[in-house]
Structure 1
Amino acid sequence: MPQLRVLARLTRLLLVLLLGMLMASVIALGERLGLKASIERRQRWSCLFMKRLVAALPFKVRVIGQLPQRPMLWVSNHVSWADIPLLGMLQPLSFLSKAEVRHWPVAGWLAEKAGTLFIRRGGGDSQRLREQISTQLGEARPLLIFPEGTTTNGHGLRTFHGRLLAGAIDQGVAVQPVAIQYLRDGVIDPIAPFIGDDDLVSHLLRLFAQPRGEVCIHLLQPIASAQKERAVLALQAQQAIHGALFGVEEAVRVPQRQARAA
């Protein structure tokens, strides 16, 4: 039975990837003919692909809260590669992603065409990245970032990097905190996290061998960025997400030295 389940799910996933390849081919053909699609159209196509991809994954998805009605900087905790399609299906978005994603088959190509910004860990290009994020937000394009900088096992949060939120302050754009939580049998899912030296194929096979898990996506109250230090803004977003995931709220206390350094 588990083998049949894996085979059926892999078959469905391959069909979705074929759809993605068809979409990519249409966009590429249009570019060759001088009919370059707008970033808004490419984001809509990417969102459509993400919806189909999520439908092929073994998750039951529950969304809590309201989608923002204006472009914002989306800020989310990071547990798995699946975070990207799960959040990207909600509305057309651009992403800030690690450079490795650019080389993923189909999804990486579509992500690049949809306006994804790729960051090299330890690349030392923080000022250029800040300008890119500011430009995206200044052109009224919603952008999603994972300010922890890496994935976790879902049992806690890492410190949010304030430098990634500087672009929102530059443009006066509100921050949309998003908490994503993977559950299995009512507890934190030990299979969904994609951490360490895990590889995508092995992780997919483990997911597909199990019954469907549950994903809860909490769209939290937006946070105004005007006249805030980036460390304070990052900590407020982190605490909002922490409260949604673990039910613990703490007062915002940022030492002045930390605020200047973040």
Structure 2
Amino acid sequence: MRSPWPQRFLGWTGRAVGMKVTVVGTPARQPTLYAANHQSWIDILVLGGATGASFVSKESVRRWPVAGWLATMVGTIYISNSDRSAAADQAGAIRNALHKGKSVAFFPEGRLDNGELLPFRPALFGAVIPPDHHQPILIQPVAIDYGEARDEVIWPSRTKAGKNAIQVMSRRGTANVTLTFLEPFTPESEHHRRDAATHAETAIADALGIETAREAA
């Protein structure tokens, strides 16, 4: 049986660094691929605390202070951003975790950009496309919104992990963060992974009240 402690510990750690989480909507109960926007290493704490999901993250996260240790503890699937030829193997690792009954969360933007919403990369949506009709997997978009605390807790580009962690953990008061679990969907046989990426990106942008990068272009 899966231990509930990693999820509880992530939730506790999120509160310890000053996050007050409000959950809107309902996380899917069956094994699910959660696709969320990415603004900070805190995303791992609040999303993991709400879902108990394993994460998909770039290999360098393993070395981050605090968040790297926490990510490893919850069974993160580490991938190499520089090796595009490995996308099929990476999607296969995610698919295996999902078919073993474990939900998986990932950040399709692939990198941070001062809190802006970047175009979602489609490659890892290949974990559930084409769908396995014997064991269908849901995709559920999740919008993470730090509200008025956004500028204080996002991870600015070209800022070292340790410096940002100290800045966030030394801030006073509580920051309100809202996790909005949007309508889950099941890919169809005729769908391409680009369709799933666009669907998730658009749903999250709508929830945050912003345009997607494609719409703004």
On whether the aligned pair clears a TM of 0.5, the verdict is yes
Letter in 2 for 1:224: T
Q: Could you say which structure has the greater relative contact order, defined with CA pairs below 8 angstroms and 6 or more residues apart? A: 2
Q: Distance in 1 between matches of 2:20 and 2:75?
A: 28
Distance in 2 between residues matched to 1:219 and 1:239, nearest whole Å:
14
Q: Identify the residue that residue 204 of structure 1 maps to in structure 2.
A: 165
Q: Deviation string for 1:186-237 (max 9, x for gaps)? A: xx62121113221233223333234322211101000221221110111000
Query: Are the counterparts in 1 of residues 114 and 157 from structure 2 also a CA contact under 8 Å?
Result: no
Give me the TM-score of the superposition, normalised by structure 2. Answer: 0.86
Q: CA deviation at 1:137?
A: 1.4
Residue segments in structure 2 that go unaligned for 5+ positions in a row: none
Aligned to 1:142: 103
TM (norm. structure 1) is: 0.72
Superposition RMSD in Å: 2.3
Q: Deviations over 1:111-169 (max 9, x none)?
A: 33432110122123112101111111121210001000012323x41111111101112
Q: Secondary structure at the match of 1:46?
A: helix
Structure 1 portions without partners, runs of 5+: 1-37, 253-262
Equivalent-residue separation in structure 1 for 2:105 and 2:98 (angstroms): 10
Find out whether 1:181 has 2:142 as its counterpart. Answer: no
Q: 1:46, 1:111 within 8 Å by CA — same for their partners in 2?
A: no
Specify the code of the residue in structure 1 equivalent to 2:87: S
SS at match of 1:239: helix
Q: Please state if 1:240 is matched with 2:203.
A: yes
Matched, 1:47 2:3: no
What percentage of residue pairs aligned between the two structures are identical? 30
| CA distances 1:66-96 after superposition (whole Å, capped 9, x unpaired) | 1212111000000000000010001221100
Amino acid at match of 1:51: G
AA in 2 matched with 1:143: V
Q: Contact 1:58/1:212 (CA < 8 Å) preserved in 2?
A: yes
Please say if residues 54 and 104 of structure 2, whose CA atoms lie closer than 8 Å, have aligned partners that are also in contact: yes
- What amino acid does structure 2 have at the position aligned with 1:114? V
Match of 2:52 in 1: 92
Q: Give the 3 Å change call, closer, same or farther, for CA 153–107 of structure 1 in structure 2.
A: closer
Counterparts of 1:84 and 1:213 in 2: how far apart (Å)?
16
The structure with the larger Rg is: 1
Task: Between 124-133 and 102-111, report the one with greater CA deviation.
Answer: 102-111
Q: Look up the equivalent residue of 1:121 and give its one-letter code.
A: N
1:116 paired residue number: 76
Amino acid at match of 2:183: Q
2:191 is equivalent to residue 231 of structure 1 = no
- Contact 1:162–1:231 (8 Å) recurs in 2: yes
